A and B are shown apart, each in its own frame.
Chain A
Amino acid sequence: MSGDPTEDDYSDASAGVEATRRRSAELFAQLRENSAPEPARDAAREGLVHLHLPLVEHCARRFRNRGEPFEDLVQVGTIGLLKSIDRFDLERGVEFSTYATPTILGEIKRHFRDKGWAIRVPRRLQELRMQIGSAGAELTQSLGRSPTPRELAEKIGCSVEDILEGIESSNAYSTLSLDAGDGDDDGAATMLGAIGIDDENLEHVEIRESIKPLLDRLDAREKRILLLRFFKNMTQSQIAEEIGVSQMHVSRLLSRTLEQLRASLESDDPPAG
């Protein structure tokens, strides 16, 4: 018995751990039997996928409520399972589930990393974007103001063009909802829940009557960012710090909100003021 809880979890349900293992070993023997006819080996592979599918579902369940459909997660997880089946070495003496779990989880995590992007962006730019994000936060701290692209370029060791390109590419990134939970273990604490909202500011602010109904349609966070930027005159970096997201994220949210407001202003007739 290996100490892997995952394995116990998924196989003790009905068939029993031993039966699953025996069946798995048989199928692997068939699959690796070079003299066996092609159809027989395909069938063995198929059988292994079905046998271990509960493991994939178990892994996918860990990532529920993160804004991605469970079925999609099972699907990408199954890719991990297929890879594991093809690479599994019977001689190693470890259980297949022990071997496959990291691969399946890796595949699901990769899905999250890639899927956050609205447009497929080259990996180089994705990495650059992350570097800009962290270097930007550091420099904002040490300088006490937002850094210039040149300062960022010096810090990261790339050109000013790269920085601009990185910032441009970040417009293609859409993070998953802040409202999504961070896992199923410790309650439903979401990032949004952790962000305080000081509503009194909204009441004190003089909002022009024509946009008030439009503002009311925004969600709380968008409204807050808009108010901080245009009524409290905070910079994007300050807002980022206050709300607890990156400056680039603030920039994206702000642009999107303005876009929405403009669209609604154009479509509705604003009440005469």
Chain B
Amino acid sequence: MPADSAFVSVLRTTSAGLAARLDFTIDDIEDLRMAVGEASALVLPQAEPGSDLTCEFFMRPAELTIQVSVVSHQPTPPDEDSFAWQVLTTLATKASASADDRRFAITLSMRSALQEPDS
């Protein structure tokens, strides 16, 4: 997709659709929707003008992992004290960022609340 915030809503909706297929609860789906929005908001400002936002979805039973990445020259890793990062890590089960000199990526995983071990 173009690295443009206008396309983020499509990404959010897609993520929600996939999570629904995995039988996530409405709460989880809404959290995921927001987490994806936050992750996109973190990577987009670092994208090269005119480049693409790449999204990859990895589905496993009760778990959805989404990676959003952009082409970026010498990206700065996200400030872990920043508000957006706090929001992201609260919403997602797991979130991580990776930056090399060509790409900046954020990976977030969400596990369905229904499948978490009850202990």
Residues of A within 8 A of B (CB): 136, 145-150, 152, 160, 163-164, 167-168, 208, 210-211, 229-230, 233, 235-237, 247, 251, 254-255, 258, 261-262, 265, 273
Interface SS majority for chain B? helix
**In the complex, which residues of chain A have a beta carbon less than 8 angstroms from the beta carbon of B17?**
164
> Interface residues of B, CB < 8 Å — how many?
28
CB distance from B54 to the nearest CB of A (A): 22
Choice from A147, A208, A230, A262 contacting B26 with Cβ under 8 Å: A147
Q: Binary interface profile of B, 44-79, with partner A (CB < 8 Å = 1, else 0)?
A: 000000000000000000000000000000000000
CB contacts (< 8 Å) of B101 on chain A: these are none
A148 x B25 contact (CB < 8 A):
yes
Q: Point out the residues of chain A lying under 8 angstroms from B114, CB to CB.
A: 145, 148
Contacts of B84 in A (CB 8 A): 262, 265
Known contacts A233-B90, A247-B27; 18 additional CB pairs below 8 A are A146-B26, A148-B20, A148-B23, A148-B24, A149-B20, A149-B29, A160-B21, A164-B16, A168-B13, A208-B81, A208-B86, A210-B82, A230-B90, A235-B27, A255-B37, A258-B34, A258-B37, A262-B84
Write the nearest CB–CB distance from B36 to chain A, whole angstroms: 12
Q: Which residues from A are CB-within-8-Å of B83? A: 208, 210-211, 261, 265
Chain B residues positioned under 8 Å from A262 (CB to CB): 41, 84
Residues of A within 8 A of B27 (CB): 145-146, 235-237, 247
Q: How far is the CB of B86 from chain A (nearest CB, A)?
A: 7
Which chain B residue lies CB-closest to A152? B26
CA–CA, A57 and B40, complex, Å? 50
Give the residues in chain A near B30, CB-CB below 8 Å.
236, 247, 251, 254
A258 touches B25 (CB 8 A): no
* Interchain CB contact (< 8 A) of A163 among B20, B31, B33, B81: B20
**In-complex Cβ contact of B87 among A146, A167, A230, A251 (8 A):** A230
Question: By the criterion CB–CB under 8 Å, are A136 and B26 in contact?
Answer: yes
Give the complex CA separation of A158 and B25 in angstroms. Answer: 17
Contacts of A265 in B (CB 8 A): 83-84
B99 at the interface (CB under 8 A from A): no
Report the minimum CB–CB distance from A163 to chain B (whole Å): 7
Q: Which residues on the A side are within 8 Å of B41 (C-beta)?
A: 262
Contacting pair B23 A255 (CB below 8 A):
no
- Which chain B residues border A152 with CB–CB below 8 Å? 26
Q: Quick check: A146 and B25 within 8 Å, CB to CB? A: yes
B27 nearest in chain A by CB position: A146
Please, could you name 10 A-B residue pairs with CB atoms under 8 Å apart, sorted by A?
A: A145-B25, A145-B114, A147-B26, A168-B16, A211-B83, A235-B27, A254-B34, A255-B37, A258-B87, A262-B41
B11 at the interface (CB under 8 A from A): no
Residues on A with C-beta less than 8 A from B26 are 136, 146-149, 152, 167, 236-237, 247
> Which of A146, A208, A237 is most buried by chain B, counting CB atoms within 10 A of its CB?
A146
Closest 5 A-B residue pairs measured CB to CB? A146-B27, A146-B25, A149-B20, A235-B27, A251-B30
Query: Shortest beta-carbon distance, B109 to chain A, in Å?
Result: 18
Q: Which residue on A lies nearest to B29, using beta carbons?
A: A149
Bound together, the chains give a CA A229 to CA B90 distance in angstroms of: 9
Closest to B19 in A: A149
Instruction: Tell me the minimal C-beta distance from A257 to chain B in angstroms.
Output: 10
Instruction: Give chain A residues whose Cβ lies under 8 Å from the Cβ of B113.
Output: 145-146
A150 to B28, CA, bound (A): 13
